[in-house]
C-alpha cells in the first residue's frame, strides 16, 4: 500500500456508483449486524469513501475511520456534509496508513471490510496492519475482516486481456454510461501478488468520450498463511466463515471471513 496521498485519485471519483452497481456485493449486512450487536464505537481501518462507515453511523453508532487515500477521504467528506447533524457527529476520520496508525483509543470492534488486507503486499506489511488492529482492541474486543478465497484458474489466466468489470449510468448525466474494465499485467507467484489496471471509459450517445486508468495491485492469501499471520500479530480466531451468509470456511468457500480476538 502506497503512502502517497493521491492514491486512488481516479477510482475515488467513481467508487460509490461503481460498487452500487455491483449486484453480488454482500458484505454490508454482515458488518452492519456486527456493529449493531456490539453497539459501541467502531474503528474502521481503510474506510475509503464510507461505503460501510456511513450506514453504521446512520444506525446511531459512533465510528472512526482511517485511510491513507486523501481522494477517498475527500469523497467521504462530501457525503458527510449531506448527512444530518446527528450522523455527522458520530463520524471522525484520520488520514493515516493502517500499517503504522496508532491512537489512544481502544474499541470493542475493529473492522477492515472489503479486502484492504489484500493491498498489503509483504509479510511485514500484513503483520503491521493486523498489529494496528490488535493494538486498538479492548481486552474483549474483536477484529473482523475479509479476503477472497483464491481461485487459481482465474489468478493465473487472462494476462493482457481486458475484461468488462462493471457498468453504470452517471447519476449527474443521464444517458452517459460508465464502463470499468479490468486488465491484468503480471502475476508474481512467489510474492502472491498480481499487478493490473482499472480502465474507466465514459460513453455518451454510444461514443467513447473519455478514458482514465489507474494501477491496481493485490495480494492473495492461503488459509495457513493467514493463521501464521494471526499468531505473529497476537491474534486468534473466534469465528470464521466462507461467505457473508455465514457458511463454513471449506472447499466451497468464496471468501475467507474472520472474527478475531487477542490471544490469551
For residues 206 and 86, state if they share a domain: no
61-74 confidence digits (pLDDT tens): 999 999 999 999 99
Whole-angstrom distance, CA of residue 251 vs CA of residue 42: 32
For residues 227 and 176, state if they share a domain: no
Name the percent of the chain lying above pLDDT 70: 98
Residue 215 domain-assigned (yes or no): yes
Please give, one letter per residue, the 3-state secondary structure of the chain.
CCCCCCCCHHHHHHHHHHHHCCCCCCCHHHHHHHHHHHCCCEEEECCCCCCCHHHHHCCCCCEEEEECCHHHHHHHHHHHHCCCHHHHCCEEEEECCCCCCCCCCCEEEEEECCCHHHHCCCHHHHHHHHHHHHHCEEEEEEEEEEEECCCHHHHCCCECCEEEEEEEECCCCCCEEEEEEEEEEEEECCCCEEEEEEEEEEEECCEEEEEEEEEEEEECCCHHHHHHHHHHHCEEEEEEECCCCCCCCCCCCCEEEEEEEECC
Separation of CA 1 from chain center: 12
For residues 165 and 45, state if they share a domain: no
Whole-angstrom distance, CA of residue 197 vs CA of residue 70: 20
Residue 4 domain-assigned (yes or no): no
pLDDT of residue 6: 67
For residues 37 and 92, state if they share a domain: yes
Instruction: Report yes or no: 16 and 51 within 8 Å, Cβ to Cβ.
Output: yes
For residues 161 and 238, state if they share a domain: no
Residue 3 domain-assigned (yes or no): no
Grade residue 1 by pLDDT with cuts at 50, 70 and 90: very low
Whole-angstrom distance, CA of residue 144 vs CA of residue 29: 13
- Predicted TM-score of the model (pTM): 0.95
For residues 204 and 160, state if they share a domain: yes
Question: Domain range for residue 178?
Answer: 152-219
Higher pLDDT, 245 or 24: 245
Residue 251 domain-assigned (yes or no): yes
For residues 103 and 52, state if they share a domain: yes
For residues 73 and 170, state if they share a domain: no
**What is the number of structural domains in the chain?**
2
Amino acid at each position: 500500500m502506497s503512502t502517497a496521498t493521491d492514491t486512488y485519485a481516479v477510482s475515488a471519483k467513481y467508487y460509490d456508483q461503481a460498487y452500487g452497481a455491483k449486484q453480488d456485493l454482500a458484505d454490508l449486512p454482515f458488518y452492519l449486524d456486527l456493529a449493531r450487536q456490539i453497539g459501541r464505537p467502531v474503528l474502521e481501518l481503510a474506510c475509503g469513501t464510507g461505503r460501510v462507515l456511513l450506514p453504521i453511523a446512520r444506525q446511531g453508532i459512533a465510528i472512526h475511520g482511517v485511510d491513507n487515500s486523501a481522494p477517498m477521504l475527500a469523497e467521504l467528506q462530501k457525503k458527510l456534509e449531506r448527512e444530518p447533524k446527528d450522523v455527522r457527529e458520530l463520524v471522525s476520520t484520520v488520514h493515516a496508513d493502517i500499517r503504522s496508525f496508532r491512537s489512544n483509543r481502544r474499541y470493542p470492534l475493529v473492522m477492515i471490510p472489503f479486502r484492504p488486507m489484500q493491498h498489503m503486499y509483504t509479510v511485514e506489511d500484513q503483520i503491521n496492519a493486523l498489529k494496528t488492529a490488535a493494538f486498538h482492541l479492548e481486552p474483549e474486543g474483536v477484529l473482523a475482516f475479509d479476503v477472497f478465497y483464491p481461485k487459481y484458474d482465474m489468478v493465473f489466466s487472462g494476462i493482457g486481456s481486458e475484461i468488462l468489470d462493471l457498468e453504470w449510468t452517471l447519476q449527474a448525466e443521464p444517458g452517459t454510461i460508465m464502463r470499468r474494465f479490468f486488465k491484468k499485467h503480471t502475476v508474481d507467484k512467489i510474492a502472491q501478488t498480481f499487478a493490473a489496471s482499472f480502465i474507466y471509459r465514459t460513453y455518451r450517445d454510444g461514443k467513447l468520450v473519455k478514458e482514465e486508468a489507474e494501477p491496481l495491485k493485490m495480494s492473495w492469501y492461503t488459509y495457513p498463511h493467514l493463521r501464521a499471520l494471526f499468531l505473529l500479530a497476537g491474534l486468534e480466531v473466534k469465528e470464521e466463515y466462507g461467505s457473508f451468509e455465514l457458511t463454513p470456511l471449506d472447499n466451497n468457500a468464496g471468501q475467507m471471513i474472520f472474527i478475531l480476538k487477542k490471544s490469551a
